[in-house]
Structure 1
Amino acid sequence: MLGVFGIVLSLALLIYLAYRGITVLVLAPILALMAAFIGGIGGQETHIMATYTEIFMKAFANYAKNYFPVFLLGAIFGKVMDDSGSAKAIAHAIAKKLGADKCVLAVVLSVSILTYGGVSMFVVAFAVFPIAQQLFKEADIPKRLIPGTIALGSFTFTMTGLPGSPQIQNAIPMPFFGTDAYAAPILGLIASVCMFGGGIVWLTLRVRQAKKAGEGYGVHPNEKFTEIDETNLPSLGLALAPIFLVLGINLVLSKMVIVAGKYDGAYLEKAPYLTKLGNVAGTWSLIIALVISILATIIFNYKRLKSAKDTVNQGAIGSLLAIINTSSEVGYGNVIQSLAAFTIVKNALLGVSSNPIISEAISVNVLAGITGSASGGMSIALGILGKQYLEMGIQQGISPEVLHRIASLASGGFDSLPHNGAVITLLTICGLTHKESYKDIGMISVAIPLCSLVVVVVFALMGVV
């Protein structure tokens, strides 16, 4: 039991200290080794340095190997879309079309299109906030509702639900289950409708409550407004073209070229590759789609970019912290997995239900909440239990596509608790606090996605794909 106590203590410290602002890069190895040390006191033979170099760092490196291209290209694509003015052009066009009286819907749609097109959630927040700020001010709607509105378009259905989403949360399950980004499209669409509809209803209710109470935009003494220069923005069609390219090329490659058998991947099963086409097809499709879209965006907007080289460099550098943070969390999870006491935790997670759909939905959500990261929690959960879930699914006639979609959806629930890095960043960009805006963020990105997940689990158990 001492080993279990060490695991629980390390997890509690990870949550608390990460919330207090200490980087996961430092926390993850220290707390993982602390749990291993306590487990050693409890009777398991533990070698601290070997655990660090041969378990933590090996898992860290393996995760970076598998997902660095997606993090890298996603960050570069987002930066190119931002610097070219394409992200602002899309948001501005939608806002102008719908008007200030429909500012909530305008912001949600703007963010959704950008996020679904592959633009990083962080880039989206920076690009859309100035427009949201002006719209909410003009409509005299409380500024405190802006973070929840942006969260609906970026932290929910476009991240985990919509089939084909190039976001990392939809890419992580692919090598585990041999699937692609369009896995279980009907389940994904059901979840997306629930999250989008529920979020819009909630925000509309909150706006009405504020109006009824006579609450307006509010007084924010240190607030600055950024003027949008329309003269140098690309046209809406030109701005949307790279997004259609990402989605279209990914769809064609994953469904009609690679997986359809038009690409002979038999050589992959031989040395030095020793893998299967199904394990890499989804990732390859996404990488190619992003590369082509980045090049197209640069070509379309070459004169608008101050320096294409600087834009690409900044995007590449910006991807490093995200991939290293998540890799550290995965390293942490693998150390915990190696401990004898984790067998008790593992059996508890698997013992929740003999059905892998239910067990996976719970374990991914719990670990995403513990780490405060959708990608980190899902990576840990699938790294530990993914193979067993796949085996259980095959035995019970459950499609790997269903397991992919459930894992992706489950990652977007408890991950958005107050210590989540994206939540903290969003509030910082908006110049607001947890006290002012987290109630709406929590409802939009925790409560409603959890309810949506329950609905999807029910449909999945009924055999819907």
Structure 2
Amino acid sequence: MALGIIGIVTSLILLITLAYRGVPVILAAPLASVVAVVFSGAPILASYTEIFMPAMAAFVGSWFPVFLFGAIFGVLMTVTGYAESIARTVTGLVGSRSAIAATIVTSALMTYGGISLFVVAFVMYPLARELFRVADIPRRLIPATIALGIFTFTMTALPGSPQVQNIIPGQFFGTGSFAAAGVGLVGGALIFGLGLLWLEYRRTALIRKGESFDSPESARSANGSSDSGTGDQQVTTLEPANRLVPFLPLLTVFAVNFACTLIIFPALDWSYLAEDKFGGVTFEQRMGLWAVLLGILAAILVLVALNFRHFATLWAGFVDGAKRSLFPIFSTASEVGYGAVVASVAAFAVVRDSVFGIGADALWTSVFSVSITAGLTGSSSGGMTIALNALGEDLRTMAEQEGVSLEAMHRLTAMAAGGLDTLPHSGAVVTLLIVCGLTHRQSYKDLGVVTLAIPVLVVIALVSLVSVVGSF
């Protein structure tokens, strides 16, 4: 048994090391799985084909539509010029001198509007770079500024977020994407406010030291990156006729999601789901996924309707979006497959029992287990899926027995996944730094504060508050 636990720890260290060194998770996860299997004494081939692959395939089967249409929606928002128009409109309202706030708000609007996180990163960098150049803000703060808008409060805290991290808990707790709206709004406001304060403080401190946009300390790394690098690829875009029109698709995602979750779906008869051909799925398990999926599809239709005369450009966007959806979902699914392999070894039962043996209630146990797995895998969605696949049923039973609000558990579990997931080896962090052409040494300190330290502290504070006063 001790050897099996050593194998789990060794495999996790290997996964983190490979990810940190830039090895794609889709390759690193199977290799780490082999290490865990070898130490446990389980058969390698059977563990791969009968445990790893089915778990990976199940994740793809459940979440592929969201990744696919989310990526397509993001590309269409780019090629139509709507994303850039939104950025310039927000900048005009906030003021170019408030480049940090403008970048955060614009990134947040796109993320909350349903655009894939990775797509937002690519779209936002050229815009943020120009804003920071005009305001002469050290460019080393660009990754943290974009990350605050896309990897934190809009991803997990704000009720109704169409991001997958806000949908996953509903599959296990029978809740919708608007669960515990009050808790989410308070948490989102705290993360946004504290993150903005930190970035403004850092801007002042760096400028006081004499650092500027073009300072060597803040310049691009010397590894061959240049201002024509990955993040600066230009896309031929269409010019929207009205500055308000680009906001319509984002509003459509929210409106359809809200209407389906709280009005339309509850009024329909879902008794047919009890039929054997639907595999025993319940309405509560799929409500959040279906509502978000319909919201994104409706927004795509709005985009097509508004730009139908440029259908050839839109079709190219559909094709490009479909291609861009594959790497993110298979990377996350590969991590889920790794989690399934680890959960299958006998030593994992000891780890699971240790988690439940800490004596905490369901809320603290859920937050703790998801935080740890998200941190170890460097993925909020992958870590949360791994933890809830292994512990979800037990956590729900425990919560019902203790009278803990499942809605509060949904919201705080999602927020917990968005904390330690941005440790240095995180694929999202590595990708964002590559897009911005900066290194961990230059930018991770600030990125870590706004996406890791602040969210973790906010979650701890909210769990403590909910434990005392209940959900709100």
TM-score category, normalised to shorter length: over 0.9
Taking the TM superposition and a 5 Å limit, the aligned residue runs for 1:26-425 are 26-40=27-41, 46-219=42-215, 220=219, 222-224=226-228, 232-258=239-265, 260=266, 262-273=267-278, 274-303=280-309, 307-425=313-431
Aligned to 1:12: 13
Paired letter, 1:435: R
CA contact (8 A) 1:254 1:282 kept: yes
Deviations 1:397-424 (A, max 9, x none): 1122112112110111110011111111
Cα 1:271–1:363 change in 2 (3 A) is same
Cα 1:230–1:277 change in 2 (3 A) is closer
Is the partner of 2:277 in helix, strand or coil? coil
Q: How far off its partner does 1:228 sit?
A: 11
Cα 1:226–1:277 change in 2 (3 A) is closer
Cα 1:387–1:48 change in 2 (3 A) is same
Bigger shift: residues 119-128 or 325-334:
119-128
Deviations 1:142-183 (A, max 9, x none): 111111111111111000100000011111112111111101
Q: How far off its partner does 1:96 sit?
A: 2.4
Cα 1:137–1:306 change in 2 (3 A) is farther
CA contact (8 A) 1:152 1:199 kept: yes
Bigger shift: residues 424-433 or 372-381:
424-433
**Unmatched runs of 5 consecutive residues or more in structure 1:** 41-45
Paired letter, 1:335: V
Distance in 2 (alpha carbons) for counterparts of 1:289 and 1:228: 26
Cα 1:227–1:332 change in 2 (3 A) is closer
CA contact (8 A) 1:371 1:377 kept: yes
CA contact (8 A) 2:79 2:313 kept: no
The answer to whether 1:433 aligns with 2:439 is: yes
CA contact (8 A) 2:67 2:116 kept: no
Distance in 2 (alpha carbons) for counterparts of 1:227 and 1:30: 36
Deviations 1:254-294 (A, max 9, x none): 11111x2x111101012111221111122111111111111
Deviations 1:91-147 (A, max 9, x none): 011112322211111111111111111111222122222221122111111111111
Cα 1:26–1:226 change in 2 (3 A) is closer
Aligned to 2:223: none
Distance in 1 (alpha carbons) for counterparts of 2:424 and 2:173: 31
Paired letter, 2:65: P
TM-score normalised by length of structure 2: 0.93
The answer to whether 1:457 aligns with 2:463 is: yes
Is the partner of 2:111 in helix, strand or coil? helix
CA contact (8 A) 2:157 2:185 kept: yes
Aligned to 1:448: 454
Aligned to 1:43: none
Distance in 2 (alpha carbons) for counterparts of 1:227 and 1:297: 20
Identity %: 41
Cα 1:267–1:92 change in 2 (3 A) is same
CA contact (8 A) 1:191 1:455 kept: no
Is the partner of 1:398 in helix, strand or coil? coil
Is the partner of 1:238 in helix, strand or coil? coil
Distance in 2 (alpha carbons) for counterparts of 1:308 and 1:100: 31
Bigger shift: residues 97-106 or 240-249:
97-106
Paired letter, 1:113: L
Distance in 2 (alpha carbons) for counterparts of 1:154 and 1:26: 26
Is the partner of 1:236 in helix, strand or coil? coil
Distance in 1 (alpha carbons) for counterparts of 2:45 and 2:436: 43
CA contact (8 A) 2:81 2:238 kept: no
Is the partner of 1:432 in helix, strand or coil? coil
Paired letter, 1:379: T
Q: How far off its partner does 1:47 sit?
A: 2.5
Distance in 2 (alpha carbons) for counterparts of 1:305 and 1:369: 42
Q: How far off its partner does 1:333 sit?
A: 0.5
TM-score normalised by length of structure 1: 0.95
Distance in 1 (alpha carbons) for counterparts of 2:109 and 2:258: 17
Distance in 2 (alpha carbons) for counterparts of 1:434 and 1:306: 40
Paired letter, 2:170: M
Distance in 2 (alpha carbons) for counterparts of 1:232 and 1:245: 20
**Unmatched runs of 5 consecutive residues or more in structure 2:** 221-225
CA contact (8 A) 2:78 2:237 kept: no
Distance in 2 (alpha carbons) for counterparts of 1:214 and 1:76: 43
User: How many residue pairs are counted as aligned between the two chains?
Assistant: 458
Q: How large is the Cα RMSD of the aligned pairs?
A: 1.8
Paired letter, 1:12: I
Distance in 2 (alpha carbons) for counterparts of 1:148 and 1:436: 11
Paired letter, 1:250: N
